[in-house]
Chains A and B, each alone.
Chain A
Amino acid sequence: MNDLAIRTKELAKTYAGFPAVCGIDLNVPRGAIYGFLGRNGAGKTTTIKMLMGLTGLSAGSAHVLGMDVPNERIAILQRTAFVSEKKTLYPSLTPSELVRFSRGFYTTWSDRAVEKYARLFEIPMKQKFDKLSNGNQTKVFLLLALSQGADLLVLDEPTTALDPVSVDQLLHVLAEDALDRGCTVFFSSHQLEEVEQIAEYAGVIDHGKLLMESRLDDIKSEFRLITAAGNSLPLQTSSQILSLDAEGNFCTYVVTRDAESFAAGLSRNGATITNIAPLSLREIFLQLVRKEKPCTSGNAGTTPDPFSSSS
């Protein structure tokens, strides 16, 4: 049995010649919480739309819960709950009516979950959708998704418009309730704190390219920021060097593993190591996306060229 809830290979999407997603390889383990990070317009929503069958694939392949996205869309949607970026529903229906509407589509629907989350999120179930506050509209979306009994939750910026208390409640629900059921959670966000709080895995996308995909524990224990000074510093990314930023004789590396041996190697080549420091997800994110150039061919983290100032 496939142990990945979502797997894509060279997944790409082009809109009228503009590459929105450029050949990404996503690997989301079953039963995990995966935070999909990126700036506005990075390609998060387009990727999710492709996974949900809302938009076609320009190239590559995508499998959700072991099923091929274009060919087994309905079977995927039977087991997947989705909260879209646009939190708009039918304005004339109340949350109760939206529950009634959604219930019939799913054999795994749980009315007990509806009661539980309606109470938890304090949703006024008899008020028309367009009369609800933005926060409550978002909560209705989440209520419908969480009550579906899905094997996979795909949430596109789920905390938009939620107040801090509701964000906390949602993260709590995702971290405990969803995982207790063995549900996989794949959520996009640009709120790094949310991802750090509950996610087990994180992927960073920018300009349509997946720049990094890793366990958060690995980031904490293995990833290091190394700053070195010297004349013959390596200026190419590799499987070990996630990113680098060169300026004059100084170069800052984000190293994914064996930081000590990497630093020792630099020292042997005459470089002076000025700093080795652990990294938070925020620091890695900023290191990756601040200097990334628009989509070109190549693998994640190999975008040419960060060193225009040094050459």
Chain B
Amino acid sequence: MYLWKCWHDTRSFFIFFLVIAAASTPITAAVGVGTSLMEGFGTTVLLPTLITMLFIVALGLGAIGAIQEFTDKTAHFLFTKPRSRAYFVWAGWAVGSIELLIIALVNLSAGWLTLVHYSKRPFGTVLFNALKKHDIADIVIYTLLIYSLTYSLTVVLRNGLKGLGASLGSLAILQCFAIAMRLRWNVNVPIPPQPIGSLPPAISNIIWILAALLFVFSAQLIVERVEI
């Protein structure tokens, strides 16, 4: 029932972006057919669309996902249900994660079908031009990390706007820190989804996923100790 509540709270946002995910690439292709836009469609259209949209969705879902449940006014209702507080934290996160992944999948599928349609080539031979599979994985993992960070901060701060602001602030500080470390001491601080040190991309991605889960776990620990 709590999963239904999470879906109920996010469905308008989700459906809105699902429509955009499904329609953006076909519309762009229809407008750009016969132009140079179609050359390298994967990298010039699909990739930027995917990044921008998933970034917004990650921040949005993170900020609205579970906020009603954890505010001062309604936490007493939720936390007197016979479930652990950890269950509520992870259930809310899981619903948002699935919605994020569905939007990514729909966007990629729509882009792929668009390419199939306009390239006049058999399905199996159509790729996203120069777009590589690990690029897509990197984007999805990166946005999952942003979503988890925003969600966790929203839950801990018990305010969607504060969670969003703290998340954006954290990302900006991390970027600035990484740049400063590189310029001043020539040390490369890994920024998601970049590979960590000399680790293979797959291992790096697993570590970034674990980092995303660590954010949620930290939020869980705090929520379990908070006094209502």
Residue of B nearest to A81 (CB): B80
Inter-chain contacts of A92 with B (CB < 8 A): 8-9
Q: Considering the complex, which residues of chain B in the window 205-228 have a beta carbon less than 8 Å from any beta carbon of chain A?
A: 227-228
Residue of B nearest to A97 (CB): B8
Shortest beta-carbon distance from B14 to chain A in Å: 15
Q: Considering the complex, which residues of chain A in the window 50-78 have a beta carbon less than 8 Å from any beta carbon of chain B?
A: 52-56, 74-75, 77-78
Inter-chain contacts of A54 with B (CB < 8 A): 75-76, 79-80, 227-228
Q: Are A93 and B80 in contact, with the CB atoms below 8 A?
A: no
Inter-chain contacts of B121 with A (CB < 8 A): none
Q: Are B77 and A105 in contact, with the CB atoms below 8 A?
A: no
Shortest beta-carbon distance from B224 to chain A in Å: 11
Q: How many residues of B contact A (CB 8 A)?
A: 20
Q: Secondary structure of the B side of the interface?
A: loop
Q: For B1, give its contact among A49, A77, A80, A101 (CB under 8 Å).
A: A101
Shortest beta-carbon distance from A300 to chain B in Å: 25
Residue of A nearest to B84 (CB): A74
A104 within 8 A of partner (CB):
yes
A291 within 8 A of partner (CB):
no
Inter-chain contacts of B8 with A (CB < 8 A): 92-93, 97
Of the listed stretches A83-91, A186-194, A199-207, A302-310, name the one at the interface; the rest are far from the partner chain.
Answer: A83-91
Shortest beta-carbon distance from B52 to chain A in Å: 28
Bitwise, B1-22 to A at CB < 8 A (1) or not (0) is 1101100110000000000000
Inter-chain contacts of A101 with B (CB < 8 A): 1-2, 4-5
Bitwise, A157-180 to B at CB < 8 A (1) or not (0) is 000000000000000000000000
A88 in contact with B82 given A101-B4, A105-B1 (CB within 8 Å): no
Inter-chain contacts of B83 with A (CB < 8 A): 74, 105
State the total of A-B contacts with C-beta under 8 angstroms.
Answer: 62
Q: Are A100 and B1 in contact, with the CB atoms below 8 A?
A: yes
Q: Secondary structure of the A side of the interface?
A: loop
Q: Are A102 and B80 in contact, with the CB atoms below 8 A?
A: no
Q: For B5, give its contact among A49, A56, A90, A106 (CB under 8 Å).
A: A90
A82 to B228 CA separation, bound complex (whole angstroms): 14
Q: For A88, give its contact among B2, B73, B80, B84 (CB under 8 Å).
A: B73
Q: Are A106 and B82 in contact, with the CB atoms below 8 A?
A: yes
A75 to B228 CA separation, bound complex (whole angstroms): 19
Shortest beta-carbon distance from B34 to chain A in Å: 46
A56 in contact with B74 given A77-B82, A90-B5, A105-B81 (CB within 8 Å): no
Shortest beta-carbon distance from A92 to chain B in Å: 7
A295 to B175 CA separation, bound complex (whole angstroms): 53
A103 within 8 A of partner (CB):
yes
B68 within 8 A of partner (CB):
yes
CB pairs A–B below 8 angstroms (9 shown)? A54-B76, A54-B227, A75-B82, A77-B81, A82-B80, A89-B77, A92-B8, A101-B1, A105-B1
